[in-house]
Amino acid sequence: MSHDHSNPLPSYMKVFYSLMALTVLTVLAAKQLTFPHEWGTPGDILHVAIGVVIAVIKVIAVMYIFMHLKFDHPMLRFFVYIPVFLFLVFGFALNFLESFTYTH
Amino acid sequence: MSLALNLSHEPITKIPHGKLAMWAFLASELMFFSGFFGGFIVLRNTNYDVFGAGSAHLNWTLALINTFILIGSSLTMALAIHNLEHKKDGAFRLFMGLTILGGFGFLIVKYIEYSSKFADGLFPGQENHTVFYSFYFLMTGFHALHVIAGMIPMAYIFFKGFTKAGYPYPSKVETLGLYWHFVDLMWIFIFPALYLMIPYHVAGAH
């Protein structure tokens, strides 16, 4: 066995319940907050920020507990960090180029 | 001291080769889906109304059910691995079977969802629907293909578990589990992106 945690079952159940609760929270937040009619306004940013933050928390929980990143060799984390970093660069670059095209 | 090369794991970190290869594959998969999400973000911002109108026709309740199914199947996969590592073959078969059922459940709900889109005249690859539906079919379609791809080795391992010797390779099931959790991870992002973080949802049809 590659990980040394002896009884992971309580952690698994905590993650499971957390994922369920956070999913419900995502839906409630999306349904309760009114959407603005324009992109990039504070209301739109708030919607996206809440959805993204909750999704990231859920993903970290799954990766660290279900996928054992917390218990396995730290080197494996780079298989996540590097693609995520590249995605952020890619996302920012695309958005910057898009807005640059519209403003110039 | 033996100098023979051990092929079961990487010599310095002791990470099993199968697991290392799976993480490298998942990194490439992450980049694959990143392309979709990167394009989705840019086009959502420049086609705000189009994405809002498209999303209002999606059934978020079915997507929510699918989210619960995938989260549940992630748990049962983790429990299947745990039980196989502790040589509890009966519990392993039970949880692996439940994981496969979760995959089938997801696909059935997806079939229902797609059927309603097809009934409305919306098909993948059509030129007369909006850019939102291009993303919808692309992202959910590729995700569903990943679910099917995960279920094939799971079914093999499940049926192998009923043989006299049982399934003797917990590390292989753990590697497969990484893939299945990744499928869950992608859905965790796809669900709010397509179904919830879009305007008009509060006043939407569903």
pLDDT 10s digits, B63-110: 999 999 999 999 999 999 999 999 999 999 999 999 999 999 999 999
Q: How far is B93 from chain A (nearest CA, A)?
A: 17
**Residue B2 in domain:** no
Chain B partners of A73 at a C-beta cutoff of 8 Å?
A: 13-15
Q: What is the pLDDT of residues A4-42, one digit of tens each?
A: 467 899 999 999 999 999 999 999 988 887 766 666 677
Chain B partners of A66 at a C-beta cutoff of 8 Å?
A: 74-75, 77-78, 177, 181
Taking alpha carbons only, the member of B22, B84, B157 closest to residue A69 is B22
**Residue B32 in domain:** yes
Give the total number of structural domains in chain A: 1
* Res A19: pLDDT: 97
**Element (H or E) spanning B170, and its range?**
helix B170-191
CA dist., res. B74 & res. B39, Å (int):
28
**Residue B120 in domain:** yes
Partner residue opposite B31 with nearest CB, options A1, A72, A83: A83
Asked if A72's CB is within 8 angstroms of B74's CB, the reply is no
With beta carbons less than 8 A apart as the criterion, state whether B147 and B107 touch. yes
Give the total number of structural domains in chain B: 1
* pTM, entire model: 0.89
CA dist., res. B93 & res. B89, Å (int):
6
**Residue B112 in domain:** yes
Contact residues for B2 (Cβ-Cβ < 8 A; gap 6+): none
* Res A42: pLDDT: 75
Chain B partners of A81 at a C-beta cutoff of 8 Å?
A: none
Q: What is the pLDDT of residues A30-89, one digit of tens each?
A: 888 776 666 667 777 888 889 999 999 999 999 999 999 998 889 999 999 999 898 888
CA dist., res. A85 & res. A58, Å (int):
18
Q: Is the ipTM of this complex over 0.85?
A: yes
Query: B50 lies in which domain range?
Result: 23-195
* Res A65: pLDDT: 95
Query: A88 lies in which domain range?
Result: 9-101
**Residue B12 in domain:** no
* Res B3: pLDDT: 56
Asked if A98's CB is within 8 angstroms of B45's CB, the reply is yes
Residue A5's closest chain B neighbor by CA? B82
Q: For chain B, which ranges sit under pLDDT 70?
A: 1-7, 127-128, 199-206
* Res B120: pLDDT: 85
**Residue B58 in domain:** yes
**Residue B141 in domain:** yes
CATH number for position B149:
1.20.120.80
**Residue A54 in domain:** yes
Asked if B202's CB is within 8 angstroms of A35's CB, the reply is yes
CA dist., res. B144 & res. B33, Å (int):
13
Asked if A34's CB is within 8 angstroms of B202's CB, the reply is yes
Q: What is the dihedral of CA B144, B33, B79, B7, to 10 degrees?
A: 110
Partner residue opposite B75 with nearest CB, options A2, A16, A26: A16
CA dist., res. B85 & res. B171, Å (int):
8
